[in-house]
Amino acid sequence: MAYTQETVHDIVNAQREFFLSGKTLSIEWRTKQLKRLLGAVLDNEEMLKKALYEDLGKSPVEAYLCDIGPTIVEVDEILQGLRKWARPELHFSGLMCFPSACTRVYKMPYGVTLVISPFNFPVLLTLGPLAASISAGNTVVVKASSKSAACTRALKTLLEGIFPPEYVAVIDGGHDVADMCLAERFDKVFYTGSPAVAKHVMEMASHNLTPVALELGGETGNWCIVRKDADLKDAARKIAFFKLCNAGQICINVNQVAVAEEVADAFLGELKSEFERQIGKEAHLNPEYPKLITKAAYKKCERTADAYRDRIVFGGVGDKKSRRFTPTVIYPVDVNEDIVQHELFSPLLPVVPYKDDDISRILDVIARREHPLALYVFTSDTKWAKQVMSTLQYGGGCINEVCIHMMVKGVPFNGTGHSGIGAYHGEWGFREFTHPSTVLTGSTHFNLPLREHPYSGKAGSVKMMLLKLFER
């Protein structure tokens, strides 16, 4: 379908009318829709797997591990907790509000929401925010990625089969169509993607004072620190797995590794061994290995690798036809080089050596750059690691592990600054798509003149005494 500003406007207006009907407000309605969504994902698993392979070359196992399975878990968690999360909070009004005794905080939906999803995990990062918005009682317009065209078609088929467009609508197309959506007055915008595009999203949303949530990769990339006392084999195994996953096209992936130079050679040896063990020596010829999303993404990866060709110690080979580029280790890289000052979103892995006694310099560099979405630390000194993780600014992370912090139920997935605004997953997603409304219930009896004039003379003195007593 070819979209125009008029057709997008009509979709948004139809959703606003549907929201104003009040149909989405009941918990029973929301629960029913979430169950329909969950059932549709389960019923269309094979269609989603095929689409993920067509767009990104993901094997059925990786498609389920990283996209379909986590979506099922996410929706199921929301179904289990929704009734409790949506319950109004009851508060004592306090002496200053006498004779009122009760104040409630209602969890109100925003209204008509826009979810702009990315190409790298097109199922999870579309249906996860969608489920959160549905749970909060909103209607949803989904602007799916044009880069992952097969997945967008599959999602369109899936969602149009269970929801009317006045409740959930899927819009495909490029940046021009996204701008058509952003030109409309939404009540909430949820965008997942790059910091550069996020600035544009915020700017357009600001025209209507629309609140936004942003889940971004981080402008200067995510660091992984390997200290000299780390279990090198374990660290290499986990880092290799993660860098192979989706060919590095993951917002929380390791962008660069800082390794203590005292163990750098040993670590590099373990890392090479793990890449070979997990994917083979010719990953670009392995059909299980994912591919880069577009020819442009492949060329960018190849161009960057060529610029550091003399320091590639592993990989550096690709296949243009399949768009697969091997995991590529670049060593040594200085902490101030260009390659470690922006998000790579590819299988390239620069490794920065440092003296272990000078770890504070690496931490200072991380602290002074834009906040990453993730931070990973490998060390046997957990006291030091906890100190680092509790003082630096970043979205989330792991000690002696990678990525799986985002799979823990009940905790938020979020960024800060250039890595994002807001949070979601489970109850945090419900909160992101609701706004709290405080309502005090007053009384027509026993009202005192404390807040009323006169404020002078004896009456004023008594009121001042009572105010100082109550306002504590």
Residue 352 burial (C-beta neighbours within 10 Å; 0-12, 13-18, 19+): buried
Four-CA torsion 226, 231, 233, 234, nearest 10 degrees: -90
Instruction: Give the Å distances, CA to CA, from 69 to 48, 61, 171, 316, 418.
Output: 11, 10, 24, 32, 28
Which helix (DSSP H) or strand (DSSP E) does residue 195 occupy? helix 195-206
In 369-470, at which residue ranges do the beta strands (DSSP E only) sit? Answer: 374-378, 396-399, 413-414, 420-421, 423-424, 434-440
Is residue 62 within 8 Å of 245, Cβ to Cβ? yes
Alpha helices in 69-141 (DSSP H): 69-86, 124-135
Looking at residue 257, its amino acid is V
Can 288 be counted among the known catalytic residues? no
Residue 212 three-state SS: strand
> Phi-psi category of 315—alpha, beta or left, where left has phi over 0 and alpha has psi -120 to 50?
left
Nearest CA-CA partner of 27 in 430, 432, 438, 441: 430
CB 427 within 8 A of CB 81: yes
- Select from 141, 137, 78, 140 the least CA-distant residue to 106: 137
d(CA 217, CA 395): 10
List of residues 6+ apart from 124 with CB closer than 8 A: 66, 67, 68, 70, 71, 74
Structure tokens at 412: 């938020």
Catalytic residue among 215, 270, 343, 427: 215
Q: Is 251 a catalytic residue?
A: yes
Pairing of strands 348-354, 318-319: unpaired
| C-alpha closest to that of 433 among 86, 200, 18 | 86
Are the C-beta atoms of 315 and 330 separated by less than 8 Å? no
Parallel/antiparallel/unpaired status of strands 89-92 and 102-109: antiparallel
The one catalytic residue in 251, 301, 398, 403 is 251
Q: What whole-number distance in Å separates Cα of residue 23 and Cα of residue 411?
A: 30
| Tokens describing residue 363 | 């931490």
**Dist CA 312 CA 332 (whole Å):** 9
Catalytic residues: 215, 251
